[in-house]
Amino acid sequence: MSNPGSAAPAPRLASCTYAAPLPNGTDGAGLADLLTTGSESAWIRDGEGMVGLGTAARYGTTGPGRFESARRWWMAATEAEAAESAGARRSTVPDDGLPRRSPLAFAAFAFSDDSPVESVLLVPEFVVGLAHGRSWLTWQVDLDAPEYAERAAAGWRPGRAEAEQRLAGLLAEAAGRESGSGTPAHGLELSDGTLSQEGYRAAVARGVQQIEAGALTKLVLARDAVVRSTDPVDVPHVLRTLTVQYRDCWTYAVGGLIGSTPEMLVKVDGDTARARVLAGTLDRDGAPEGAAGSDYAGQMLSENPKQRHEHQLAVDSLTERLEPFTTSLDAPDEPFVLELPNVWHLATDVTARLVGAQGTRRTGPGALALTEVLHPTAAVCGTPREEAAALIGELESADHGLDRGLFAGPVGWLDGNGNGEFGIALRGAVVEDAHTVRLYAGCGIVAASDPESELAETHAKMRPMLQALGLDLKLAPRA
Ligand SMILES: C=C(O[C@H]1C=CC=C(C(=O)O)[C@@H]1O)C(=O)O
């Protein structure tokens, strides 16, 4: 597959970062309120995270080399930034107490090597961040961009006073463009996508046959669904709703990819890597509530051999690939039950110390390099990985024409020092146009899987997005 991004020159980035109250004046509560037009990038969990506004640079790429070409582009851009911003207060300065996050890009990668859908690195002009109750602002510019080139040649570099002016202008412009009503759209209609519900049941049945025949042990099969609305979809409203309803999940927006994922592929912070592996699901719809619900979930998930097997395969697929890059790795033997408003999951939190790292300095692999190594885990592909990927290509794509695109690919952010967070783009959708959103969901299939139950599970997994879009579905109450 061609790689149109490989020839794109890296921008000559320069940035400045400083502690600042959230620009909308609602410190502590208002990060999601910065989502106003639908073109923002976002990564928010439990009210904290980052929102990216405007675009300083963008890189698009496809094919098997997409991670590597994105990494090279980002390395070139961040090396330029290190040189250009040397005189400025980079956020790597440890004693200013700011997170090490400048420069910063948001990123989303296609699930499959064969997808024609572009994987993207987006370098926003502004990043507004909030971590541990402290907020900061980063202004990033391409010194070669027409609006800066002349001044940059004369030695100009981004600074705080101009950043504030420029951000105020950008926010005023965004407020002018804000068209959403802040309420769900009207005239919503849900229909099957490229892979219909009937087709999904048939694909699952064929997957089970292949597993029974010994071709593989586990396979994750996905389907899509389409929501069309007569009103334009209010993307910021959808994202804000997800940040409130799914506080334990990472709510993401990169380009038109939006959602709220409970699964962390890899988070790299200095010398530490963390992951949250999920597999094994129980719908909360119709289940007992409160403590009885937790007992029920424990029994149905932790004590169910099918669910445990499915989960262990996902954990192994991550730890086996992560282990060579670590000096220590901790993955508890017993998974815990993660409770979300729509479902319960079996979950395992993995923590590892990375090789080639000393405190915040690293010579070993960073977040993006590890992402390439780890993707796709058996939570979204299967075991063995190659056989599962080939069967996904057959049962989803060749038989039904479904391309997962960015669904189930890594989504998140990365900085210039190898830190970053990449979740798996689950419980999400792609905004295809102002009136059309395509949702995706998949399920792990093992020998004991039943097509009807797996189809029902895809409904449960689509529920967060359907509800945030305003489709009238019952939401299991939060415990
Ligand atoms: C593939 C999805 O979920 C994965 C993550 C958690 C649990 C899963 C499961 O139980 O099948 C899936 O492996 C999805 O949400 O579309």
Pick the CATH number of 188-469 from 3.60.120.10, 3.20.20.70, 3.30.300.30, 1.25.40.10: 3.60.120.10
Q: Is 3 or 310 the better-scoring residue by pLDDT?
A: 310
How far, in Å, is the centroid of ligand 1 from the Cα of 138?
Answer: 35
How far, in Å, is the centroid of ligand 1 from the Cα of 444?
Answer: 6
What pLDDT shows up at residue 184? 60
Question: CB of 281 closer than 6 A to ligand 1?
Answer: yes
What pLDDT shows up at residue 1? 40
The catalytic position among 40, 218, 310, 396 is 218
Question: CB of 345 closer than 6 A to ligand 1?
Answer: yes
Highest mean pLDDT (candidates 83-97, 284-298, 352-366): 284-298
- Kindly state the percentage of the chain with pLDDT values over 90: 78
Query: Strand 436-445 and strand 428-433: pairing?
Result: antiparallel
CA 57 to chain centre: 20
Degrees, nearest 5: CA angle 119-122-127 = 150
- Give me the chain's average pLDDT, please: 90
The domains of the chain are located at 4-177, 188-469
- Kindly state the percentage of the chain with pLDDT values over 70: 89
| Average pLDDT of the residues in 246-253 | 97
Predicted confidence (pLDDT) at residue 361 exceeds the cutoff of 60: no
What pLDDT shows up at residue 478? 36
Question: CB of 280 closer than 6 A to ligand 1?
Answer: yes
pLDDT digits (tens, 9 = 90+) for 400-437: 999 999 999 999 999 988 899 999 999 999 999 999 99
How far, in Å, is the centroid of ligand 1 from the Cα of 188?
Answer: 26
Question: CB of 388 closer than 6 A to ligand 1?
Answer: no
Give the residue, out of 200, 208, 220, with the most ligand 1 atoms within 8 A of its beta carbon, to mutate for a pocket test. Answer: 220
What pLDDT shows up at residue 91? 43
What pLDDT shows up at residue 339? 96
Q: 231: helix, coil or strand? A: coil
User: Is residue 263 annotated as part of the catalytic site, yes or no?
Assistant: yes
Tell me which residue of 313, 345, 347, 353 sits closest to 332, measured CA to CA: 347
Residue 56 — very low, low, confident or very high, per pLDDT cuts 50/70/90? very high
Inter-CA distances, 453 with 198, 281, 346, 456, 457, Å = 13, 11, 17, 5, 6
- Residue burial 221-251, b: 16+ Cβ < 10 Å; e: rest: bbbbbbbbbebebbbbbbbbbbbebbbebbb
Residue 117 — very low, low, confident or very high, per pLDDT cuts 50/70/90? very high
Residue 8 — very low, low, confident or very high, per pLDDT cuts 50/70/90? confident
What pLDDT shows up at residue 27? 46
How far, in Å, is the centroid of ligand 1 from the Cα of 123?
Answer: 29
Using CA positions, which residue lies closest to atom 10 of ligand 1?
280
What pLDDT shows up at residue 100? 56
Predicted confidence (pLDDT) at residue 356 exceeds the cutoff of 50: yes
pLDDT digits (tens, 9 = 90+) for 78-110: 887 777 665 544 444 333 445 556 789 999 999
* pTM recorded for the entire structure: 0.94
Tell me which of 64-78, 174-188, 321-335 is least confident: 174-188
Predicted confidence (pLDDT) at residue 226 exceeds the cutoff of 80: yes
What pLDDT shows up at residue 182? 60
Predicted confidence (pLDDT) at residue 278 exceeds the cutoff of 80: yes
Residue 343 — very low, low, confident or very high, per pLDDT cuts 50/70/90? very high
The catalytic position among 81, 263, 421, 454 is 263
